[in-house]
Amino acid sequence: MFFSKQITQWYTAHKRDLPWRNTKEAYPIWLSEIMLQQTRVDQGLPYFLKFLEHFPKVENLAEATEEKVLKLWQGLGYYSRARNLHATAKYITENLNGEFPNTKDSLLQLKGVGDYTSSAIASFAFNEATPVVDGNVNRVLSRYFGIDLPVNESAGQNLIKEKAIEVLDKKNPALHNQAIMEFGALQCKPKNPYCHICPLQSKCVAYQQGMVERLPLKIKKTKVQTRFLNYFVLIDPNQNTIVQQRKGKGIWENLFEFPVAEFSKKPKLIEVEKEMRSIFPIEISSTEKANLKPVIHLLSHRKLIADFYILKIQSLQKNTFQKNQKLLNLSELETVPVPVLMANFIKEYLL
């Protein structure tokens, strides 16, 4: 048990004091694990504390409106996590009397809970002897065992899981799993890891064979698509405007934004104006482009290039807009959940 002993001793001396580590209650552990998917700890921590303040129990989260949940989530990205979080809270409250499932297999049945998250909750909350495998664990085990198979393909991931089971301390899996994740985050970092003071140094294949910088191996699969967004911000003399809710399963589902024309290629101004007239068959007093340079917003699989147009009109009436649209005063824009791209524009240009 050399591996587990070394990393748990390291963890005891170097671990960060994080609130979800000071409990065995499944709800905050689940909340933290969902939030920290694709998110750094320092970014996710304020959101975790904010959610617990508004929703101290899973029942409180279940009773909230989706709009409130999305608003509190605003800026954290990957909004499907928030929608799944809300749906799962409702399911646990309404079907399981507010009690979380207590095994990995049963946790896997929850919406938004995959292999890693189910293992983490089962281990941390219920001390089930199941290994967790996230990006940090992939890195530590790839280097320690010298695994040169891509960790984002099935063969590499299967071998990582075999090794994770092999080194797991089955008597104290919660401590072991916390330790290996923290070790990967702070010690065995992606770049410039602290190999010279690493307690695993003597048995680490990557260190012994000079492969630390090239492990773990990953094959790039995601093709980044570029989309051109042209937003139309209607404003009447009473400072009213229109926002609309995004529907479908694309990015920012159920978040609000200004009416938009999307293009796969950079459009000519005449194309933008044509879309504007088709969206708004009303008289427009003046049109002004708000941003001098296009606003670039990067997502994991999208490059968004946005322009914003201020359209002055005489008045906005109920019959001006469609079902998924909402009439708001500019002062109310901060009350609805919007993408970060939109929030930054509102803050800089409208408030």
- Measured CA to CA, the distance from residue 302 to residue 309 in angstroms comes to 22
Token duo for residue 194? 């602290």
DSSP class of residue 197?
Answer: G
Q: How many CA atoms lie within 13 A of 4 on its CB side?
A: 17
- Measured CA to CA, the distance from residue 329 to residue 192 in angstroms comes to 50
Contact yes or no for 186/179 (Cβ under 8 A): no
Q: Catalytic annotation on 33?
A: yes
In order of 63, 80, 146, 155, 297, the CA distances from 301 in angstroms are 33, 15, 30, 24, 11
Residues whose CB is less than 8 angstroms from the CB of residue 198 and which lie 6 or more positions away in sequence, other chains included = 187, 188, 204, 207
The string of DSSP letters for 282-310 reads S--SEEEE--SSPEEEE-SSEEEEEEEEE
What is the residue whose two structure tokens read 């998250």? Answer: 117
Residues whose CB is less than 8 angstroms from the CB of residue 166 and which lie 6 or more positions away in sequence, other chains included = none
Amino acid, single-letter form, for residue 212: V
SS (H, E, C) 241-273: EEEEECCCCCCCCCCEECCEEEECCCCCHHHHH
| Catalytic annotation, pick one of 25, 33, 63, 94 | 33
- The residues carrying an active-site annotation are 33
